[in-house]
Amino acid sequence: MISIVIPTYNAEKYIPALLDSIFQNKIEDMEVVIVDDCSTDNTVGILENYPVRVIKMEKNSGPAKARNIGVEAAKGDIIFFLDSDVIVLEGAIREVEDYFDRNPAAQCVIGICSTEPLNKGFVSRYMAMFEYIHLIGQENKQVSVFAPRCGAIKRDFFLEIGSYDENYKGADVEDFELARRINKQGSIILNPKIMVKHQFANFRQALKIYFRRTVMWVHLFFKEKQLDNAGPTSPSNGLSAMCAFFSLLSLFFLPITSLAKPFFIALIILYVLFNLKWWNFMRNEAGLAFAVKAFFLNYFLGIEIMLSAIYGVLSYPFSDKEILPG
């Protein structure tokens, strides 16, 4: 049996579309468990219109704890995690069931987000396409990331490795931390047939998310000493961010030293090479104008990521070595 576990918090804008998509793709042996993290809007009222089990938390505690509570209440042997701001595309739930039937020894599988986000806008589409191209190359291979917006895991295995770390109160890097523990005992395989559409961040939201998650990812790296082999946090994107940051920094040295100009040019060339794969993908999918804008957005975000990473390095000695407070 598949138990679909969804944490919600003020999700009235998104939850009807998600639940409609789930029940349009329902399979015979499944249940939907929704854990509401003290929503103040009409989320719970909307849920009354659907055949789902609703668990209401007594205190707002974050998605990590909400997911754990959902798993504890679940009846299925397979847990299919979804975020509240996605919709399930055709065949996704069936593919989760079929994947574990075909691979009885498998413990975990993740899906992928469509290149078309649920929300309109240049930034959201860029983020959807950027994430997609950095995962799709890992099809049917072991990856180091586990995205609960669209990921399935055997219930007994999830409980055995200790569930989500509830010290993480927000949508932080609890998924990366869990993935580290999964990969110590099993494998996370990417199956692109399990696909959702996701509500991606706008520009202002992206800046906030990138800062916090970069800082916390750096803290997690110092703790676990492990890089990612796929997704936006793969080493090539880290190197790209370094090239963006130091190329900008070199411009300030142009009046001081003649070495600044060739240094800048070399870094820009490296930056282009590191990003050529996703840039060509976006150019082919969305056109040259989109890809050019994406190039400059990625450059700007790379600088922000580096500033966030520097803050993460400097703040780590003063942190609790596990999470970033707040």
Whether the Cβ atoms of residue 164 and residue 81 lie closer than 8 Å to each other: no
pLDDT at 324 over 50: no
Percent of the chain surpassing pLDDT 70 = 97
pTM: 0.92
| pLDDT grade for 248, boundaries at 50, 70 and 90 | very high
pLDDT at 291 over 90: yes
What are the structural domain ranges in the chain?
A: 2-200, 201-326
- Mean pLDDT computed over 162-173: 86
| pLDDT grade for 320, boundaries at 50, 70 and 90 | low
For residue 170, CA distances in Å to 215, 229, 295, 316 come to 14, 24, 30, 19
How much is the pLDDT for 74?
97
Which CATH architecture group holds 2-200? Alpha-Beta Complex (3.90)
From the list 25, 27, 201, the residue with the least C-alpha distance to 121 is: 201
* Averaged confidence pLDDT in the chain: 93
| pLDDT grade for 226, boundaries at 50, 70 and 90 | confident
Express each pLDDT in 21-74 by its tens digit. 999 999 999 999 999 999 999 999 999 999 999 999 999 999 999 999 999 999
Which tokens hold the place of 133?
Answer: 């191209």
Q: How many CB atoms lie within 10 A of CB 184?
A: 10
Express each pLDDT in 134-159 by its tens digit. 888 776 778 888 988 999 999 999 99
How much is the pLDDT for 136?
86
- Mean pLDDT computed over 78-99: 97
